Amino acid sequence: MVQLAESAQRRSQRIFHKMRLQALGRSHEGRKFREICETLVVSAHGGLLNLRHEVDHGEMLVLVNPETQEEQECRIVYLGEPGNRGTRVGVEFLTPAPHFWGIDFEARQVIVDQRNPN
């Protein structure tokens, strides 16, 4: 499922996109973990996902795309409230990676621009 989430103040377009991927990092207690998680929203600069492990703001994660086995280092920039599916965790890639999610963000931006010709 892919839907657009627009914001004029963002560096890149956000897209509602559910995708399973692997996250590797250190828990709040300092223990290494590896878990399969799911994204909620993605962009060329990061995403929002649900994690079951407790993590700290500012810590590093490595995300692995299961289809391509590509790894992307990222920093935790947002922690939501814990829920049934884990905690919503916002991550920012250390370097922009528009192709990590398998989505052509540039083509989607052209479509949005054509719909809103200002």
Domain ranges of the chain: 2-115
Q: What is the pLDDT of residues 13-44, one digit of tens each?
A: 778 889 999 999 999 899 999 999 999 999 98
Around 22, how many Cα atoms within 13 Å sit in the side-chain half-sphere? 11
Specify the CATH class of 2-115 in words: mainly beta
Q: What is the pLDDT of residues 44-68, one digit of tens each?
A: 899 999 999 999 999 999 999 999 9
Q: What is the pLDDT of residues 65-75, one digit of tens each?
A: 999 999 999 99
The two three-digit tokens of residue 83, written as one number = 């829920």
Interacting residues of 76 by C-beta distance below 8 A, sequence separation 6+: 55, 56, 57, 58, 59, 60, 61, 89, 90, 91
